[in-house]
Amino acid sequence: MHTSLNKILTNCKTLMLDMDGTILDLAYDSSIWLDLVPKEYAQKKGISLKDANIELHKYFVSMQGTLQWYSLDHWSDLLGIDILRIHELQKNNIQYLQDAEYFLRKIKSYDIRLLLVTNSFRSILDLKSEVTGIDKYFDQMYVSHDFGAPKESQIFWERFNEIETFDCRQTTFVDDTESVLDSAREFGIDSLVQITLPDSRKKEQVAENYLGLKGINQLINNNGCSN
C-alpha cells in the first residue's frame, strides 16, 4: 500500500536518497553512455556508430543490475577507453534536478538522518561532489561497491544494515529505479518513493508500484508534518 504523501516523513528517522535520477539530473549520465561512449568506442574499433551501439547493447543487457554494470574500471577495461576521462571532460554538464538542492538544504532542519546510497562508482561520486558540493548535505554517503553488491541485491542491504543500523519501520528510501525499490521492499523497507522524472530531457515515467513523485522537493512541499 502506498504511504500517504502528506505523512511520508512524519515517522521518518532515516532518509536514504539515491543520487543519479533522484538528486542529480540523469541527463548527464544518459549523454555519456548513450552518445559519447558509443562514439568513442566506434572510433577506437573502426566500426560504424550503429555497429558500436549493437555491441554495447549486448553488454548492457548481459550486465544490467550487476555490480559490474556500475563499475567504471570494468567498462574501461572491457571497451578499452578511458570512461572517467569522458566524465571529466563533460563535468560542467553535471546538474541538480529541479529544486533538489533546495530540498537538501531544507531537509537539514528536520530531525532526520540523511544518507546518500548510490550504485555510482566512487570516482564518479567524488567528481560529482566536487562539481555540485552534494557531499555537504549528507550525514554519510555510501556506494554499493563498498559492500560488494548493487542495491538490486539483498546482499547489499544486509551488509549495509550492519553499518547503518536503521529501523525499516522508520526509514524512507527514494530512488528512480523500480528494481532497486523492489529489493529495498524485499528487505523490509515499507516507505518507498519513486522519482518519475529522473532525466530532464525525457518524458515523465509512470510509477506503477510505488508512490511516484516528479521531483524530490514534493516530499517537503506536500508534507504536512513539521520538524
Whichever domain contains 126, its CATH number is 3.40.50.1000
| Residue 224, pLDDT score | 37
**pLDDT beneath 70: ranges in the chain:** 1-6, 221-227
The verdict on 102 and 200 lying in the same domain is yes
| Residue 221, pLDDT score | 64
Q: Could you tell me the residue range of the domain that residue 79 belongs to?
A: 28-92
Which residues pair with residue 63 across a beta bridge? none
Distance of alpha carbon 193 from alpha carbon 175, whole angstroms: 6
| Residue 222, pLDDT score | 55
| Residue 60, pLDDT score | 87
Distance of alpha carbon 148 from alpha carbon 121, whole angstroms: 12
- What is the total count of domains within the chain? 2
In a domain, 153, yes or no: yes
**Total-model pTM:** 0.92
The verdict on 18 and 32 lying in the same domain is no
In a domain, 42, yes or no: yes
Q: Which helix (H) or strand (E) holds 223?
A: none
The verdict on 46 and 64 lying in the same domain is yes
Phi and psi at residue 168, to the nearest 5°: -55, -30
